[in-house]
Amino acid sequence: MKFQGVKIAGTGSYVPEKVLTNDDLSKIVDTSDEWIVTRTGIKERHIAEDDQFTSDLSSEAALKAIASAGITVEELQLIIVATLTPDKTFPNTASLVQKKIGAVNAACFSLEAGCTGFVYGLEVGAGMIGSGLYKNILVIGAEKLSSVVDWTDRTTCVLFGDGAGAAVLTATEVENNAYLGSDLGSSGEQHDILHIPAGGCAIPFSQKVVDEKLNTLQMNGKEVFKHAVKGMSNSATKALEEANLTVDDIDWVVAHQANVRIINAVGQKLNVPSEKVYINVDRFGNTSAASVPIAFDEMIQKGLVKRGQKVLFVAFGGGLTWGANIIEY
Ligand code: COA
């Protein structure tokens, strides 16, 4: 083994075609476009078809990322899928993606760190390449949150959407390393302020689970809000320190797209000008592990992020988990 540098060679993203607007939602639950926009900034979100799963969304994003990286699927040595909505509890979703895209030489596993999943995935992938063990790793953040949302609960169902984003990490010379710094953290003390209570071994599926909707996402919104702002701003600060950079060195902040108020509060705490903070939550809602890579890929497609620029990813989610990575694109 020989230490290697890491870079993001390519990205891709995919959202399902079907769009659910706030007005559509107001026909399902007692809510309004005005309430949702004021409290969250969300105007619409994309919803997967019944027969379209997290592995399908992942595969679409993956193929685009592989094409943009200029490698073949056979060159992939590892696929990591970060998700809280796997196709099945077992086996892992990454192996299903492998099957769908034909990445026959890849090892596969999924990673569960809630909405921070992609940021965790980048850290894992960068570590495995940096150590010299791997050369090409595909990191995907993908969710079909519409499958775990309680569509009668207006306090949660208005927030979430489906989609996938992916990045191919490749090895480079140590002196060209583009993974500049990071921070990951967790506080299991608050694991039940944002969770799906049933479906695991603690509360296996039963009629009671279905009757009481314990298989759907449950959240204490106010508590989550508070922890999200603190968790993301602290984590971003630590990652900057580790990278020996200041916020002025950063060209773009790509924060987890949960709520425009949370993103703005984090931006203010970090003292980042709002022009550097990308926002697309209005069009996609909270897509959990998919939100950072969808936003990043969209920025690249729009020509906003250019090679050589420094980008700060920061996210927060159930666990609780939080994390930040700083890369040079
Ligand atoms: N439409 C209309 N009214 C709604 C509503 C909806 N979709 N959802 C809740 N309300 C009502 C509440 O019932 C409450 O009514 P009441 O005052 O009569 O009791 C009122 O609106 C205010 O609700 P509250 O929960 O205090 O609103 P809030 O300002 O805290 O905003 C969230 C709620 C969920 C938008 C906000 O707490 C939030 O964004 N939290 C973080 C969520 C998140 O990002 N989770 C994922 C993290 S990865």
- Atom number, ligand 1, closest to the C-alpha of residue 256: 48
The total number of residues written for the chain in this structure: 329
Q: Which residues, 6+ apart, have CB-to-CB distance to 89 below 8 Å?
A: 199, 200
Q: What is the mean pLDDT of residues 168-188?
A: 97
Q: What is the mean pLDDT of residues 203-227?
A: 97
Contact of 257 with 284, CB cutoff 8 Å? yes
> What's residue 158's pLDDT?
98
pLDDT of 302 > 90? The answer is yes
**Sequence spans of domains, the chain:** 5-176, 179-328
Active site residues: 115, 256, 286
* Residues 259-268 pLDDT 10s: 999 999 999 9
- Atom number, ligand 1, closest to the C-alpha of residue 157: 7
Q: Which residues, 6+ apart, have CB-to-CB distance to 19 below 8 Å?
A: 44, 45, 46, 47
Query: Distance from the CA of 155 to the center of ligand 1, in angstroms?
Result: 5
Main-chain phi, psi angles of 160, to 5 degrees: -110, 160
> What's residue 113's pLDDT?
98
Query: Distance from the CA of 171 to the center of ligand 1, in angstroms?
Result: 44
> What's residue 1's pLDDT?
82
* Residue whose C-alpha is closest to residue 10's, from 77, 79, 67, 81: 67
Contact of 198 with 215, CB cutoff 8 Å? yes
> What's residue 56's pLDDT?
98
pLDDT band for position 155 (cuts 50, 70, 90): very high
Main-chain phi, psi angles of 21, to 5 degrees: -90, 170
Residue nearest to atom 32 of ligand 1 (CA): 221
Q: State the CB neighbour count (10 A cutoff) for residue 176.
A: 12
Contact of 294 with 163, CB cutoff 8 Å? yes
> What's residue 172's pLDDT?
97
pLDDT band for position 31 (cuts 50, 70, 90): very high
Residue nearest to atom 7 of ligand 1 (CA): 154
Q: Which residues line ligand 1 (CB under 6 A)?
A: 31, 35-36, 39-40, 115, 154-155, 158, 194, 219, 221-222, 224-225, 228, 258-259, 262, 286, 316-317
> Around 320, how many Cα atoms within 13 Å sit in the side-chain half-sphere?
22
Q: What is the mean pLDDT of residues 175-200?
A: 97
Which CATH superfamily, name and number, covers 179-328? Thiolase/Chalcone synthase (3.40.47.10)
5-176 matches 179-328 in fold: yes
pLDDT of 185 > 90? The answer is yes
Query: Distance from the CA of 154 to the center of ligand 1, in angstroms?
Result: 8
Query: Distance from the CA of 218 to the center of ligand 1, in angstroms?
Result: 13
> What's residue 60's pLDDT?
98
- Atom number, ligand 1, closest to the C-alpha of residue 228: 47
> What's residue 59's pLDDT?
98
Best residue among 39, 153, 287 to mutate for probing ligand 1, ranked by most atoms within 8 Å of CB: 39
DSSP E strands, the chain: 5-14, 19-21, 44-46, 78-82, 107-111, 136-144, 162-172, 179-186, 194-195, 218-219, 252-255, 310-317, 321-328
Q: What is the mean pLDDT of residues 47-51?
A: 98
Residue nearest to atom 13 of ligand 1 (CA): 155
Query: Distance from the CA of 158 to the center of ligand 1, in angstroms?
Result: 10
> What's residue 290's pLDDT?
98
- Out of 3.50.30.40, 3.30.70.20, 3.40.47.10, 2.40.110.20, which CATH number does the structure's domain 5-176 have? 3.40.47.10
* Residues 55-94 pLDDT 10s: 999 999 999 999 999 999 999 999 999 999 999 999 999 9
Query: Distance from the CA of 216 to the center of ligand 1, in angstroms?
Result: 17
Q: What is the mean pLDDT of residues 295-312?
A: 98
pTM of the predicted model as reported, rounded to 2 decimal places: 0.97
Residue nearest to atom 26 of ligand 1 (CA): 222
β-bridge partners, 107 = 78
Element (H, E) at 210: helix 207-211
- Atom number, ligand 1, closest to the C-alpha of residue 115: 48
Best residue among 32, 145, 155 to mutate for probing ligand 1, ranked by most atoms within 8 Å of CB: 155
Contact of 47 with 82, CB cutoff 8 Å? no
Q: Is 310 helix (H, G, I), strand (E, B) or coil?
A: strand
